[in-house]
């Protein structure tokens, strides 16, 4: 069997394209919190990020050393204003203009700032002064960006907890708490008018803490489970993440804003906690984050938003040892401060390339030399009904001339090709 030259080129180009796609998964981001006293220097973190498939980073502030360190990396940067800045931003254009002049203009576009989040979980903060001033603050920041000719290039939004929902079960009945009323409508009108996302923090981990049955854990970790039926739309949900995101979609739809993009600003699972913490473990954290990443890479989407993956920022890059509260609050990091992984969820580009190389190895060994002839045509197939990495071969014969179509069906390649499950490589068996 001889591999034709154009087939070799196709194989090489496909492999390169696979690596390129695997390394440009723009829907995978990560949160970079700084409530810690042992974090590595920002340039080291920038190099770490470049060794992964993470393409976006969310900051809770606007630390210039981090923003500078990410310059010329192409990594999208979300910067945030502190909740305490909201009254000043809402007071008039001068404060917002000064904030943009200080925290954006000196770094953009070398540092790829893509979004400014005005405050974090303000709506559920129980601080009515901040709640009332949130929308004016966002409007002033947007106006300052417009004045700097950056309107549309950098978006403005705020980040919400799942507490803004009054109902989330079943997902098709998702609705916002009516007590937010006109303010939520005003925020959504802002999102719609400016093309900015509705950012939400869904955490299946916290849902599990309130319902610790084994079947709930499996549902939260994307593991095999019986699923949960949404009787309104006759669709069975197989994981909590999809259910939570679709509940938000339904809430947006119920207010006439289904076209506003949803961004998952935070989601994660702690790998350790206090003795009385329920759910934290290396196994659970690896299962949640690893299966979530695989789910996003599959591009299957959610039942109400099929065929696409929402931008999702994992929580978090590092542990934050100065955070108050339970031990689990300080143990969400995917990486240690020495830049090694706490556990592997397949984010390293080197591990992805190794998986690709391993999966393609049998193809090289299958190429041997024969000669050709012609005769009648027949077709045979071999199949594999497993969930592991495997191949199946379709042989199309024309006498002694055979065309081998080798189908690669590999979860690694499936995710690498972002949902393309079939790739056919053509080989001719030229027999006399």
164-200 residue pLDDT tens: 999 999 999 999 999 998 999 999 999 999 999 999 9
Contacts of 273 (CB under 8 A, 6+ apart): 279, 280, 326, 327, 328, 331
Which tokens in the block code for residue 261? 């993009």
Residue 352's pLDDT band (boundaries 50, 70, 90)? low
The pLDDT mean for the chain works out to 83
Whether 412 and 356 have beta carbons less than 8 Å apart is answered as: yes
User: What are the residue ranges of helices labelled H in 120-221?
Assistant: 128-147, 181-194, 204-209, 214-220
Whether 225 and 275 have beta carbons less than 8 Å apart is answered as: no
Looking at per-residue confidence, does 62 or 376 come out higher?
A: 62
Residue 23 has pLDDT above 70, yes or no: no
CA terminus-to-terminus distance, the chain: 11
Tell me whether strands 155-161 and 198-201 are parallel, antiparallel or unpaired: parallel
Q: Which backbone phi and psi does 397 adopt, to 5 degrees?
A: -105, 140
| Separation of CA 200 from chain center | 13
Residues 2-8: contacts with CB under 8 Å, at least 24 apart: 2/367, 2/369, 2/370, 2/427, 2/428, 2/429, 2/430, 3/367, 3/427, 4/426, 4/427, 4/428, 7/425, 7/426, 7/427
Residue 290's pLDDT band (boundaries 50, 70, 90)? very high
Q: Which residue in the block uniquely carries the two structure tokens 């069975």?
A: 236
Whether 314 and 334 have beta carbons less than 8 Å apart is answered as: yes
Tell me the sheet residues that pair with 165.
Answer: 176
Query: Which run of H or of E encompasses 6?
Result: helix 5-22
| Separation of CA 191 from chain center | 20
Class for domain 24-347, per CATH?
A: alpha beta
Q: pLDDT tens digits, residue range 118-174? A: 999 999 999 999 999 999 999 999 999 999 999 999 999 999 999 999 999 999 999
Residue 26's pLDDT band (boundaries 50, 70, 90)? confident
Instruction: Indicate the pTM of the whole model.
Output: 0.79
Measured distance CA(59)–CA(79) in Å, rounded? 5
Whether 73 and 49 have beta carbons less than 8 Å apart is answered as: yes
What sign for the dihedral angle of Cα 137, 142, 143, 145? positive
Residue 235 has pLDDT above 70, yes or no: yes
Q: Could you give the dihedral angle defined by the CA atoms of residues 122, 126, 130 and 136, in that order, rounded to the nearest 10 degrees?
A: 70
Which are the catalytic amino acids?
Answer: 121, 266
Query: Which run of H or of E encompasses 167?
Result: strand 165-167
**Lowest-confidence segment of 32-46, 56-70, 330-344, 376-390 by average pLDDT:** 376-390
Residue 351 has pLDDT above 60, yes or no: no
Residue 6's pLDDT band (boundaries 50, 70, 90)? very low
Whether 169 and 242 have beta carbons less than 8 Å apart is answered as: no
- Break the chain into its structural domains and give their ranges: 5-11+353-430, 24-347
Q: Which of 373, 379, 374 is nearest to 397 (CA)?
A: 379
């Amino acid at each position: 069997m001889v591999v034709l030259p154009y087939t070799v080129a196709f194989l090489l180009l496909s492999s390169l394209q696979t690596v390129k796609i695997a390394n440009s998964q723009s829907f995978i981001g990560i949160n970079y919190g700084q409530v810690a006293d042992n974090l590595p220097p920002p340039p080291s973190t920038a190099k770490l990020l470049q060794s992964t498939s993470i393409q976006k980073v969310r900051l809770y502030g606007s630390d210039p050393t981090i923003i500078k360190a990410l310059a010329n990396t192409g990594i999208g940067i979300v910067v945030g204003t502190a909740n305490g800045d909201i009254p000043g931003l809402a007071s008039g254009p001068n404060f917002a203009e000064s904030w943009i002049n200080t925290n954006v203009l000196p770094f953009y576009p070398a540092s790829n700032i893509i979004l400014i989040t005005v405050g974090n979980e303000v709506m559920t903060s129980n601080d009515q002064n901040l709640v009332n001033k949130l929308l004016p603050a966002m409007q002033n920041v947007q106006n300052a960006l417009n004045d700097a000719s950056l309107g549309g290039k950098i978006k403005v939004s705020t980040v919400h907890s799942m507490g803004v929902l009054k109902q989330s079960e079943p997902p098709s009945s998702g609705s916002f708490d009516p007590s937010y009323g006109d303010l939520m409508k005003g925020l959504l009108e802002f999102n719609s008018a400016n093309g900015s996302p509705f950012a939400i923090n869904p955490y299946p981990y916290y849902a599990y803490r309130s319902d610790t049955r084994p079947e709930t854990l499996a549902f939260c970790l994307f593991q095999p489970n019986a699923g949960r039926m949404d009787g309104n739309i006759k669709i069975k949900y197989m994981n909590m993440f999809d259910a939570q995101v679709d509940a938000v979609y339904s809430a947006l739809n119920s207010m006439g804003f289904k076209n506003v993009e949803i961004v998952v600003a935070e989601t994660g699972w702690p790998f350790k906690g206090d003795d009385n913490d329920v759910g934290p473990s290396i196994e659970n954290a690896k299962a949640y984050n690893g299966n979530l990443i695989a789910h996003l890479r599959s591009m299957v989407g959610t039942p109400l938003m099929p065929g696409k993956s929402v931008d999702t920022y994992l929580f978090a890059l590092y542990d934050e040892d100065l955070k108050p509260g339970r031990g689990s609050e300080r143990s969400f990091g995917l990486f240690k401060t020495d830049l090694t992984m706490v556990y592997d969820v397949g984010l390293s580009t080197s591990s992805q390339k190794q998986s690709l190389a391993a999966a393609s190895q049998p193809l090289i060994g299958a190429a041997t030399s024969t000669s050709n002839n012609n005769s009648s045509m027949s077709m045979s197939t071999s199949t594999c009904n497993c969930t592991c990495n495997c191949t199946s071969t379709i042989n199309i014969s024309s006498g002694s001339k055979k065309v081998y179509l080798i189908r690669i069906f590999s979860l690694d390649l499936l995710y690498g090709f972002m949902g393309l499950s079939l790739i056919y490589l053509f080989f001719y068996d030229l027999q006399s």
